[in-house]
Structure 1
């Protein structure tokens, strides 16, 4: 199915490659008694990054037991020696970072880093300092993924100052920050909102406004920006619908693709697919996921189409360094060498980790190959 196969990568790969390769980052409560087995099973199913959560997904009274469980499960994974996804731990307090790294011992080699909740300049700096110290003591490279979800970021009167502070902080620790994650559920909770499976995050205007401002300040393509991942999709089971399905029938008319369309709609994935497309259009890459069924659609829609790849390569040809306009090889659009250059560079990076589809392969083919029915 590929014109260009996805590359192999691992926890020691360059940070820019890893940030693009996160894909569908699957969250799991750290309390799961068979967590090590789950991690290995999910790795075989194509999961490439996971967050093991000690924060919102577990009860306050469970934290101590969850930490002990994490240590046991990491030791079990280390003993088995099997390949794992990139593993991150979502903590509550900065003090947990050096404590967990010390308790993990040699198994820390399986840990890629920590997810830092409710990140602002004031709250985030102690987390990042703790991560740097833990890395220095352990001798093991650790990345941070701050979660942007605080009320100060949501509220209009404090948003600009909060974003400025966050930008200053993450820039200071740029070599440690792998990606920034959006906590859209927290944004919605601040106003007693919850989007339905018929709607994307971009239909909730107050959320869409925050996403736009975050990308504006922290997602620039001038070398100052970071990878910003898409918001969580909360649904994985059929709900009663108010609106028509969002998947047009025409792309699914060939072969057994109509069955795929039915499956997607039955599992509320038409809304997910729509949101993934809007994530990409708004400058986000990858997605927070809470169910394994979300992983194949995110990865399928991350594959670069042959047309995108062709355009990106043409734009980045050395003879185009001086600018200019050219007609695309597909003869259906204009490619401007200077304005489209940053897009082309990002597209080729995505092509490196997710591959390039063959010319005759579309997103329906990729979905059909990747989603069990």
Structure 2
């Protein structure tokens, strides 16, 4: 089946792979409250459905009164997972306070080997240093590499009069701990909350101008391709059931015309997935990679759209040919665009890195075929 879909199949990776690979491979990072009584079983179920990274949340997804019980449940469930010996996704814990990290690693004991790191909420320079020092202590206590994923969601980052200095402070902090920061995550729900906003399911984060401006500035400062930047992941998509629509669906019919693909289009629209698909495309266009997800149904579309197309792969390979080190302009092998070697070089390098983790589709295979195949596998 895979050979029918992929020109180049994805490479196998695990929690011990290089950070550069893991940052790209995060894909659709599925959040789950740490209070769930079936957390261990849920993790294994999602691993079987293709989830490659999960965040077990002790912060905003649970009530303030539930923290102690959630920690106990998390320790119990991860200990159970470690004992069963089965493969899990990359697992991260979203904490509230720095001291939770070394405390949880201590309480987990050997089961701490399941953790790939921690998600650090409302990250600023002032808060971030304490979190990252605590992460270093937790890593030393556990004897295993742990990564941080700071969440950029504070009002100081949103407000225009404090945004520039806040970004500079975040940049100083994450640069100091560069080998520990796997990716930066955007807390768009908190951005909207600061102004009493909530985007509708037929609108993307980029339609909310105050949010779009912050995303642009974050990428400007923290997503540069000159060696100073980091992987920045896409914002959460909040919807997973049909809503009342004001605007037309955002999926054209033409890619879905063959076979039963029209049924797939109808199902995607019925579950507000057309808005998600558009936002994923806009994430990529704006320099973001991967996405925060709160529902398992979002995972497959994110991963299907992460696969490198045959056309992208062809262009990237042409641009990076050794005999083109001096630059110049090439006509695309698809004869539909200009490939300018020097300006497009970084794009090409990033595309080939994504190809390693998500694979390259065959020439006649697109998103519709990948998504249909993935849904068929889940139904088996």
Task: Normalising by structure 1, report the TM-score.
Answer: 0.99
Tell whether 2:108 aligns with 1:104.
yes
Q: Which residue of 2 aligns with 1:78?
A: 82
* Stretches of structure 1 lacking an aligned partner (at least 5 in a row): none
Secondary structure at the counterpart of residue 220 of structure 1: coil
Tell whether 2:95 aligns with 1:62.
no
Q: Which residue of 1 aligns with 2:210?
A: 206
Q: Which residue of 2 aligns with 1:258?
A: 262
Structure 1 runs (4+) greater than 6 angstroms displaced: none
- From 293, 297, 302, give the equivalent of 1:298: 302
Supply the distance in 1 between the matched residues of 2:41 and 2:118 (Cα, whole angstroms).
21
- From 172, 177, 188, give the equivalent of 2:176: 172
Tell whether 2:225 aligns with 1:218.
no
- From 324, 327, 334, give the equivalent of 1:330: 334
Q: How far did 1:247 drift? A: 0.4
Task: Normalising by structure 2, report the TM-score.
Answer: 0.97
Tell whether 2:190 aligns with 1:186.
yes
Tell whether 2:133 aligns with 1:129.
yes
Supply the distance in 2 between the matched residues of 1:327 and 1:250 (Cα, whole angstroms).
27
Tell whether 2:325 aligns with 1:321.
yes
Secondary structure at the counterpart of residue 180 of structure 2: coil
- From 152, 155, 165, give the equivalent of 1:151: 155
Q: How far did 1:368 drift? A: 1.3
Q: Deviations over 1:45-96 (max 9, x none)?
A: 0000000000000000000000000000111001100000000000000010
Q: Are the equivalent residues in 2 in contact too, given 1:297–1:370 (CA < 8 A)?
A: no
Number of aligned residue pairs: give it: 373
Q: Are the equivalent residues in 2 in contact too, given 1:297–1:371 (CA < 8 A)?
A: no
Q: Which residue of 2 aligns with 1:310?
A: 314
Q: How far did 1:106 drift? A: 0.2
- From 328, 339, 346, give the equivalent of 1:342: 346
- From 28, 33, 45, give the equivalent of 2:32: 28
Supply the distance in 2 between the matched residues of 1:131 and 1:201 (Cα, whole angstroms).
31
Q: How far did 1:133 drift? A: 1.1
- From 236, 243, 248, give the equivalent of 1:232: 236
* Stretches of structure 2 lacking an aligned partner (at least 5 in a row): none
Q: How far did 1:371 drift? A: 3.1
Q: How far did 1:370 drift? A: 1.9
Supply the distance in 2 between the matched residues of 1:370 and 1:155 (Cα, whole angstroms).
41
Q: Which residue of 2 aligns with 1:270?
A: 274
Q: Which residue of 2 aligns with 1:38?
A: 42
Supply the distance in 1 between the matched residues of 2:152 and 2:242 (Cα, whole angstroms).
29
Supply the distance in 2 between the matched residues of 1:302 and 1:84 (Cα, whole angstroms).
21
CA-based RMSD: 0.7
Q: Deviations over 1:335-361 (max 9, x none)?
A: 011000000000000000000000010
